[in-house]
Amino acid sequence: MMAMAATKQEPEREREEEAAEEGGGTELRRGPWTVDEDLTLINYIADHGEGRWNALARAAGLKRTGKSCRLRWLNYLRPDVKRGDFTADEQLLILDLHSRWGNRWSKIAAQLPGRTDNEIKNYWRTRVQKHAKQLNCDVNSKRFKDAMRFLWMPRLAERAAAQHAAGGGGGDVSALTMAAATATNTGAASMEMANDEYCSPSSVVTTTTSSSSSLTSESTTHDDKAAMPAVNGDWAAMQCADHEFWSTASALQQLTAAGADHQLLFQADLPLQDLSGWVQGFSEGVSPEILWSLDDIWRMQ
């Protein structure tokens, strides 16, 4: 991602630099930042600290608005900005937090150290809304939320567990996800679940049946209707891209494991719209307030 962005901007930067040299005016610059501008901003902040962005922009000699400087620093130049694709943990956390807080990007970003609100917002718009489009439904519709809850999030949980089991990919993110989940949970049972199980990623895979013994009556309903498979050998081949998860085969596999009628499911290649209908059926009786909370995902494992 970083490399792509860098190569993408190089020709643009050359043009911008030429224009800047030719112009020499005092009007504010806009558009992509040049390397020199970046260095100027980095050096100035290293010496004087951040904040007071308008004054900073003037003092540093940057022909940029304070807003532009702030954005460049926070979203790109800050040393702790994390680059690269979102891990399964992070994706899961984003979905969960968005279900709770909506488009509060900065609030969500605060739970993912190194990630910016802009990055998360872009992720949501490009990836999540794409899935909604594939399902031919609105991102805010119950149909889509059900698909998220019963298809995508369990899938992400699987991937997160696999990454942790492999000893890579997630890093400390699981711990922060747990912390965030704990912070956003309101019930004692949720806290218990977060502390006992979420902090141990491998348990996500192995507690499929054991965790159900401690379920509340409500979550037992979830378990009965929408129990998801734990590790399945065939799934190993599906652990790469998100879109794979939406393949008919994968969805069918999950739905079948969830108790759907084999005969009906395998009669033909069901289009995704029909699959989402199945999902909707499973979701009956599930509390509607938070439609894809991490709590429910862990209960289903």
Partner DNA sequence: AATGGTGTCAACCGCGACCTG
Partner DNA sequence: TCAGGTCGCGGTTGACACCAT
Interface positions with DNA (CB under 7 A): 1-2, 4-5, 7-9, 11-12, 29-33, 51-56, 64, 66-68, 70-72, 75-76, 103-107, 117-119, 121-123, 125-127, 130, 133
CB of 274 to DNA, least distance (A): 21
Q: Which is nearer to DNA, 51 or 187 (CB)?
A: 51
9/253 with CB nearer DNA: 9
- Of 39, 95, 96, the closest CA to residue 72 belongs to 39
Report the residue number, 116 or 211, with the smaller CB distance to DNA. 116
Task: Tell me the C-alpha distance between 18 and 186, whole Å.
Answer: 56
What is the closest distance, in whole angstroms, from the C-beta atom of residue 78 to DNA in the complex?
Answer: 11
Nearer to DNA, 2 or 183 (CB): 2
Q: Give least dist CB 188 to DNA, A.
A: 29
Closest distance between DNA and the C-beta of residue 281, in Å?
A: 28
Continuous H helices in 24-65: 35-48, 53-59
- Which helix or strand (DSSP H or E) is residue 22 part of? helix 2-23
Place of tokens 């719209």: 273
CB closer to DNA, 16 vs 296 = 16
Q: Residue 227 Cβ, how far from DNA at the closest point, in Å?
A: 31
- The token duo for 100 is 């709770």
Per-residue CA distances from 123 to 120, 162, 180, 258, 293 (Å): 5, 22, 19, 29, 19
Which whole-number Å values give the CA distances from 197 to 44, 193, 210, 229, in the listed order? 45, 6, 11, 17
- DSSP codes of every residue in 239-295: -S-HHHHTSHHHHHHHHHHTT--HHHHTSS---HHHHHHHHHHHTTTS-SSSTT-HH
Please identify, using beta-carbon distances, which residue of 127 and 225 lies nearer to DNA.
127
Least Å distance between CB 27 and DNA? Answer: 12
Q: Which two tokens stand for residue 272?
A: 């995704």
Q: Which is nearer to DNA, 50 or 224 (CB)?
A: 50
Both tokens of residue 88? 């399964």
Q: How far is the CB of 234 from DNA (least distance, A)?
A: 24
